Structure 1
Amino acid sequence: MSFNASDFFYPLLKTTPFSQPFSTHKTLTNSDSPTNLSHLLFGLVSSEKAWHHRKAYIESWWRPNITRGCLFLDKDPSPELLPWPQTSPPYRVSDDITQLLNKSEIRAQRMVHGIMEVLRELDQENLRWVVMGDDDSIFFVDNIVDVLAKYDHTKYYYLGGHSEFLLSNYLFSFNQAFGGGGIMLSYPLAKALARDMENCLKRYVFLDSADNTTRACIADIGANLSPQKGNHQLDFRGDISGLLSSHPVSPLISLHHFDMLEPIFPFKDRFESTRHLMTAAKADQSRMLQQTICYHRQSNWSFSISWGYSAQIYERIIPRSYLQIPIETFKPWVRTPRPPNYLFNTRKPSWDPCEAPHVFFFESVEKTIERNEILTSYSRAWPRALPACSSSGNHSAEYIQRIQVLSPTTKRTEVDRCECCDVVRMDSVKAEIRVRECMTGEIIA
């Protein structure tokens, strides 16, 4: 009896639902300087056709003459894209690997091959990490630097995020980083992968997933995924405001699939929403989407702040254990017969006045020089159009039109615990909140 490679490997590579535990890691203790942005190399993969309407996503975070890397297109850019702007990453045309693999459909393999190509083009002596992404990957590069600085770049590390959609992990692998959310490789691992690239692409030529091929090649080198909660593939449809308003206590690294989702801010299109979000990120990436919860006891109100994105008021005191669960405003990537759909718990939207929040979205950010703080403002999205919560005293929050949040200008360096806050002032239209470190033994409830 004879077997071919796909008979043996394919079921394992497509459906094995075992995940590796989180890696432990230590801050470098040798004489190396701390990791900074100049130590990172970005490889982005696109098509000439898609780049026309997706370049705004990349340009929202790319820092010309500061970020290092390049964009790989499937063919030379058309005249409409020329002259090539300085606001975009420099481009290269991907290698033609059709003859190498003896197949015409090489989209998945082209993306994996990009790891070798970006090292070939831009390898330098001080390189520590290679970060791969798609043409609609939105990266928060300061947070990426801070996360990677905690790892020893001289070791073999493969970092990234799972898909939030359970079925995607099952169909491909629970052990892979989903590339739209970013794949981060230490330099030694990236070099080892590049050396074996052609052999590995031939070994797994039957796979039609770039991310699963990357995982398989890395597994054969002997490394496994160290999952990161801040990498977001965003395999959803519709409105993801519920997810973005209850982010885990972990630095925001990436967002993906904005073309497949509703704009994340009301009354703005997708590109306007991206630029608007990045105005907050420019002020303080370390707090982006970090959820802070506090209470106005006199009114029995709970405030939930997703820094740089949204604010919510609930008309009763609700503990953090409940408010940290995202409201399921979104839908699964594809329809499934029954739950579970996600790798996290959700709570359903409610029309109960004691459960439904008043919703506010990020409006502006400024630094207050006299108090050395950052002031973010959040304006009401729409009337809640519900009566007051009777069980907590009928204290309606409908009159609040704006929430202002004061936070320190110092960057958060420890994320073992969320921050806390206080409601410091309220008037007829506005609430003012100050973010602070939680006190020892403080309970958020």
Structure 2
Amino acid sequence: MQFPKIPTRTKSSKILILVPSFICVLYLLASALLLRVSRHVYIHSSLSEGMYAPTTLDHIVFGISSDKNTWQKQKEYVRLWWKSHQMRGCVFIDSLPSEEYANNDNTSLPPVCISEDTTRFRYTYRGGWRSAIRFARVVAETVALNHSDVRWYVFGDDSTVFFPENLVKTLSKYDHGLWYYIGTNSEIYDQNRIFGFGMGFGGAGFAISYPLAKVLAKNFDSCIERYPHLYGADSRVYSCLAELGVGLTHEPGFHQVDVQGNTFGLLAAHPVTPLVSLHQLDQRDPIFPNMTTKKALEHLFEAVNLDSQRILQQTICYDKWFSWTISVSWGYAVQVFQKHLFLPDVLNVQETFRPWKRGNVLAGVYAFNTMNIDPDPCRRPTVFFLDTLSSGRNGIRSNYKKSYQNCSYDNFSPKKLEVIRVFSHKLELDIKQLQAPRRHCCDVLPSSAGKVMEISIRECKEEEFIHMH
């Protein structure tokens, strides 16, 4: 019996059958891929929104180094800047505070934490203090507090005065997901030569981004075992970060203030960047005359609370009628020079202070440009210190009163002035202005003929040069 011959499929018929199957498979694969991609995009965008939302104080955790003896005094300076409802962190001391502290109202201060024992670590620096090890370990112990949603850890001494809003603005320039170590070094060349130009000095305070701090804390104890010969806590932190391959990112808004005496010259010539910190002001002359250090700082914070980002920002303008040069350090002081000075010369720091140490040829060598002050007070610029401030719909008005000196003057002398009024608007810096800062301009208003001078601060025009017209 012969079966009928079944016709064989041609090549074209095979293709016709396979094409729909292949398209179906492609469709299923594409659908699965699209679902996966869309799911990834949604998750990524959600994470990005959280990761790149504006940095606030809620994202920062502070670690403050202190001890039970100094904390009783220094806490009053910390109280000036600490915001209990927004800030997280701890002040680390060596042992339990006194009953007097327990009975005080400490709701406006950071919580007190007791440092762990450090007797197992060697310390061989002759003439130094073993507390440097405990202070260094504040970094690891602050991370161990295990706070959530942290972007930055910020460390400082109990004598470090932070300016919180400006700290947030400064850190917001940087990607907190990367490894950053941010701070500044000393104003004194010799201090930097000894301890390192790349070290963030602890008195000025420094910031470490979250991922870097986690890695550092995990290996910190084993690292500092290698550095018993170092003097301070900040040297140990710097050395361990250097071993991780991370260098210091310099931010000039942090200030170690390694000088003695009158800090007027430093403050009046602040760089064009938000003021982030000041250190050990209780060991310097009060920043305002005829006040205690604490009262002077409280007075400064009146301006800080009104316009934090503009505080100490230096603006230069010229009175063409009298050929005067005027330097406004907003919220602090106004200086009127009785002559025309080129702008770069006005930006130099006046040496109103003394070196931190004496007897060393390098002690008076500073890490910035300086200018000498005239030994005759009557030949110095006339200085007007902040008196009062007010804010309204038209902006902010700050009044500055003359710091009196018994000097004779003629009708063309700025010493006849009694008050300077400065008009400005609240400074709100965006990320571009923070990354590429530009000094503001100011105009002397027509009222300068009498005992009152009025000045208006504004943004400079696009192609405007600041010079005597």
In 2, Cα distance between equivalents of 1:342 and 1:105: 27
What amino acid sits opposite 2:71 in the alignment?
A: W
CA shift at 1:206, angstroms? Answer: 2.2
Alignment deviations for residues 64-90 of structure 1 (CA, whole Å, 9 cap, x no partner): 121111111111111221225111111
1:367 to 2:388 alignment: no
> Which residue of the partner structure matches residue 344 of structure 1?
368
Give the drift of 1:426.
Answer: 2.5
1:367-406 to 2 correspondences below 5 Å = 367-369=391-393, 371=394, 373-383=395-405, 385=407, 387-388=409-410, 395-406=412-423
What residue in structure 1 maps to residue 113 of structure 2? 92
Q: Which amino acid aligns with 1:357?
A: P
In the alignment, does 2:350 pair up with 1:327?
yes
Counterpart of 2:463, as a letter, is G
Using a 3 Å threshold, how does the CA distance of structure 1 residues 346 and 102 change in structure 2: closer, same or farther?
closer
Mapped partners of 1:325, 1:387: distance in 2:
26
Alpha-carbon spacing, 1:295–1:184, altered in 2? closer, same or farther (3 Å): same
Q: 2:330 aligns with which of 307, 311, 315?
A: 307
Deviates more, 1:77-86 or 1:293-302: 77-86
AA aligned to 2:398 is T
Q: Tell me the secondary structure at the aligned position of residue 250 of structure 1.
A: coil
Classify the secondary structure of the residue corresponding to 1:316: coil
| Contact preservation (8 Å) 2:310, 2:426 | no
Q: Tell me the equivalent position of 1:226.
A: 249
Q: Which residue of 1 aligns with 2:288?
A: 265
CA contact (8 A) 2:63 2:91 kept: yes
Please give the alpha-carbon distance, in whole angstroms, between the structure 2 residues aligned to 1:405 and 1:438. Answer: 16
When structure 1 is superposed on structure 2, of 408-417 and 308-317 the one drifting more is 408-417
Q: Distance in 1 between matches of 2:218 and 2:384?
A: 51
Counterparts of 1:165 and 1:57, CA distance in 2? 25
Matched, 1:433 2:455: yes
C-alpha distance in 1 between matches for 2:99 and 2:449: 56
- The Cα offsets for residues 154-194 of structure 1, whole Å up to 9 and x where unpaired, read as 11100001100111111111110001101100001111110
Q: Aligned match of 2:85 in 65, 74, 88?
A: 65
Decide which of 214, 223, 226 is 1:200's aligned counterpart: 223
1:156 and 1:60 map into 2 onto residues whose CA distance is 30
Code of the aligned partner of 1:89: P
Name 2:465's counterpart in structure 1. 443
Which secondary structure state, in structure 2, belongs to the residue aligned with residue 181 of structure 1?
Answer: coil
| Structure 1 residue 42 corresponds to structure 2 residue 69 | no
2:258 pairs with 1:235 = yes
The one-letter amino acid of 2:120's match is Q
Q: Which has the larger radius of gyration?
A: 2
> 2:173 corresponds to which residue?
150
3-state secondary structure, aligned to 2:415: coil
Does structure 2 retain, via aligned residues, the 8 Å contact 1:314–1:355? Answer: no
**In 2 relative to 1, CA 105–309 (structure 1 residues): closer, same or farther, beyond 3 Å?**
closer
The match for 1:4 is: none
Is this contact kept in 1: 2:181–2:249, CA < 8 A?
A: yes
| Higher mean displacement: 230-239 or 339-348 | 339-348
Offset, 1:351: 5.2
Q: Say whether residues 1:114 and 2:138 are aligned partners.
A: yes
Residue from 47, 72, 79 that aligns with 1:52: 72
How far is the alpha carbon of 1:259 from its aligned partner? 2.3
| Structure 2 gap ranges (5+) | 1-46
Of residues 420, 424, 429, the one that matches 1:412 is 429
Letter in 1 for 2:458: R
Deviations 1:407-442 (A, max 9, x none): 112423315210000111325321111100011222
Residues 45 and 71 of structure 1 are in contact (CA less than 8 Å); yes or no, is this contact kept in structure 2?
yes
SS at match of 1:81: helix
Change (3 A) 1:173 1:102: closer
* Superposed counterparts of 1:289-308, under 5 Å: 289-308=312-331
Number of aligned residue pairs: give it: 409
More helix by share: 2
Residue deviations 1:129-152 (CA, integer Å, cap 9, x gap): 000010010101111111111111
SS across alignment from 1:144: helix
The offset of 1:383, in angstroms, is 2.5
Q: Tell me the secondary structure at the aligned position of residue 185 of structure 1.
A: strand
| Equivalent-residue separation in structure 1 for 2:172 and 2:155 (angstroms) | 17
Structure 1 residue 316, shift from structure 2 partner:
1.6
Distance 1:155 1:313, change over 3 A: same
Matched, 1:170 2:190: no
Instruction: Check the 8 A contact 1:420/1:438 in 2, yes or no.
Output: yes
Please identify, of 127-136 and 276-285, the stretch whose mean Cα deviation from structure 2 is larger.
Answer: 276-285
Secondary structure of the residue aligned to 1:281 is helix
Amino acid at match of 2:73: H
434-443 or 39-48, which moves further after superposition? 434-443
How far off its partner does 1:124 sit? 2.6
Shift of 1:263: 0.7
Following superposition, the deviation at residue 117 of structure 1 comes to: 0.9
